[in-house]
């Protein structure tokens, strides 16, 4: 009985990224450990990584080392790897020494010139052509190819024309496209970098017609645009808007006729996320909130008046509180006000601001602190 070619589709690793100042390098290493185990367990033939390998163009050293080790370990399983650069990566840096790296069985595509040239991998059913379309900056792509139109649809559309032109010369060849883009119908979170500069940002799914599977990257939630056009999402959460995301990767089968199905597999969760709200005393004493003590939290306090030292108090019960917002109950929206400050004592201006921002007057201790600060500024100005 014949076996399908098995792909593991992942994206948006963002190696080197932190989460509200929490260093995630250990969690990212844990995910990559899990990924290597999954490659063995699922008998994966090809790992496809659809961009945003790093979180920035100049990643920290520990992120580069982690990426280097990950590629070596993936290849040691016997699987091949095809990767593209994303909008967080440096296209030029990621294209370095690709010919040498190709010889190892790891294929990194980060150049406009190589889009129509696939990585061809054979199985018992014949060849599969893997085409890498890295993130395309619209204006760069427009000038490089002499395109008449601006925007992502024009750039990705031309790249897919190159793919289809090459594929037409390979009768009977199955095909996989890796693309880092915002496809119409996808749902964004708060942690993707905006790519709307340079014209229209959304690419219609129809632009990818004519290939067997499209491995997308960029959006951080798993999504099925069409059965054969999918996002796996990021393996870790990078914003509280991803609170309810299921994190992981797609395991995709290609049989003799092309796309044969995909199943989603879960990735390890370093710490769950939650957004909770209420008055501070309720949050600190209510038994219903006890289940959040191990979560990374975004807390919104609804006390009519801003409590003193709220973050310190919250972290006594919820040590992993990372964000704190205020939304007082029963009060209208607090709008900016214009206050005349000319010829008014600095102490009064500061005191008025404290009362406006917090809803309560400054305490005697706070007034004394302001007095000392004002005097220190005057002394410094008098010595200049």
A 10 A CB-CB count for 37 gives 11
- With vertex at residue 133, the alpha carbon angle to CA 228 and CA 74, rounded to the nearest 5 degrees, is 80
Domain total for the chain?
A: 3
Q: Over pLDDT 90: what percentage of the chain?
A: 76
The residue among 266, 287, 306 that closes a domain is 266
Using a 10 angstrom Cβ sphere, with 0-12 exposed, 13-18 middle and 19 or more buried, the burial of residue 233 is buried
Q: Are residues 301 and 248 in the same domain?
A: no
Q: Where residue 280 sits, what CATH number does that domain have?
A: 3.30.160
Q: Are residues 55 and 100 in the same domain?
A: yes
- State the Cα–Cα distance between residues 321 and 297, nearest whole angstrom: 5
The residue among 233, 251, 266 that closes a domain is 266
**H helix or E strand, kind and range, residue 49:** strand 46-50
Least confident of 36-40, 113-117, 146-150, 189-193: 189-193
Has residue 45 got a pLDDT over 70?
yes
Q: Are residues 20 and 129 in the same domain?
A: yes
Per-residue pLDDT tens over the stretch 86-126: 999 998 898 888 888 888 999 999 999 999 999 999 999 99
What is the pLDDT averaged over residues 10-17?
97
Q: Over pLDDT 70: what percentage of the chain?
A: 91
Predicted local confidence at residue 198, as pLDDT? 45
Per-residue pLDDT tens over the stretch 299-318: 999 999 989 999 999 999 99
Q: Are residues 58 and 109 in the same domain?
A: yes
Question: Which of 38-47, 334-343, 353-362 has the largest mean confidence?
Answer: 38-47
Per-residue pLDDT tens over the stretch 318-327: 999 999 999 9
Q: Are residues 87 and 199 in the same domain?
A: yes
Predicted local confidence at residue 350, as pLDDT? 77
Q: Are residues 175 and 196 in the same domain?
A: yes
Mode of pairing for the β-strands spanning 80-84 and 46-50 = parallel
**Token pair listed for 206:** 């129809």
Q: State the chain's mean pLDDT as an integer.
A: 90
- State the Cα–Cα distance between residues 130 and 181, nearest whole angstrom: 17
Predicted local confidence at residue 274, as pLDDT? 96
What is the pLDDT averaged over residues 280-288?
96
- State the Cα–Cα distance between residues 103 and 179, nearest whole angstrom: 23
Contacts 24+ apart (CB under 8 A), 22-25: 22/296, 22/322, 24/236, 24/270, 25/62, 25/63, 25/66
Q: How confident is the model at residue 343 (pLDDT cuts 50, 70, 90)?
A: low
Q: Are residues 97 and 217 in the same domain?
A: yes
């Amino acid at each position: 009985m014949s076996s399908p070619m098995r792909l593991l589709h992942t994206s948006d690793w963002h190696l080197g990224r932190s989460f509200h100042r929490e260093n995630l390098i250990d969690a990212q290493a844990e995910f990559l450990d899990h990924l290597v185990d999954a490659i063995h367990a699922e008998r994966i033939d090809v790992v496809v990584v659809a961009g945003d390998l790093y979180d920035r163009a100049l990643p920290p050293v520990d992120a580069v080392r982690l990426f280097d080790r990950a590629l070596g370990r993936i290849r040691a399983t016997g699987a091949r790897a095809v990767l593209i650069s994303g909008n967080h990566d440096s296209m030029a840096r990621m294209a370095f020494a690709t010919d040498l790296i190709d010889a190892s069985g790891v294929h990194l595509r980060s150049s406009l010139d190589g889009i129509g040239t696939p990585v061809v991998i054979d199985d018992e059913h014949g060849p599969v052509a893997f085409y890498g379309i890295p993130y395309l900056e619209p204006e760069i792509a427009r000038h490089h190819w002499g395109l008449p139109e601006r925007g992502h649809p024009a750039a990705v559309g031309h790249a897919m024309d190159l793919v289809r032109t090459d594929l037409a010369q390979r009768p009977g060849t199955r095909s996989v496209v890796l693309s880092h883009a915002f496809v119409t119908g996808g749902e964004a979170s708060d942690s993707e970098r905006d790519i709307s500069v340079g014209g229209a940002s959304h690419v219609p799914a129809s632009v990818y017609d004519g290939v067997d599977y499209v491995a997308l990257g960029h959006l951080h939630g798993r999504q099925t645009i069409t059965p054969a056009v999918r996002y796996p999402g990021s393996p870790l959460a990078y914003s509280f808007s991803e609170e309810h995301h299921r994190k992981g990767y797609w395991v995709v089968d290609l049989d003799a006729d092309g796309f044969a199905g995909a199943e989603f597999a879960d990735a390890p969760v370093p710490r769950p996320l939650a957004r909770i709200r209420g008055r501070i005393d309720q949050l600190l004493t209510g038994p219903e909130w006890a289940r959040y003590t191990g979560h990374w939290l975004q807390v919104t306090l609804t006390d009519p008046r801003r409590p003193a030292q709220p973050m310190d108090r919250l972290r006594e019960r919820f040590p992993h509180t990372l964000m704190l917002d205020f939304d007082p109950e029963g009060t209208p929206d607090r709008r900016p006000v214009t206050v005349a400050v000319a010829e008014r004592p600095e102490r009064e201006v500061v005191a008025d601001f404290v009362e406006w921002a917090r809803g309560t007057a400054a305490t005697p201790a706070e007034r004394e602190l302001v007095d000392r600060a004002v005097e220190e500024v005057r002394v410094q100005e008098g010595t200049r």
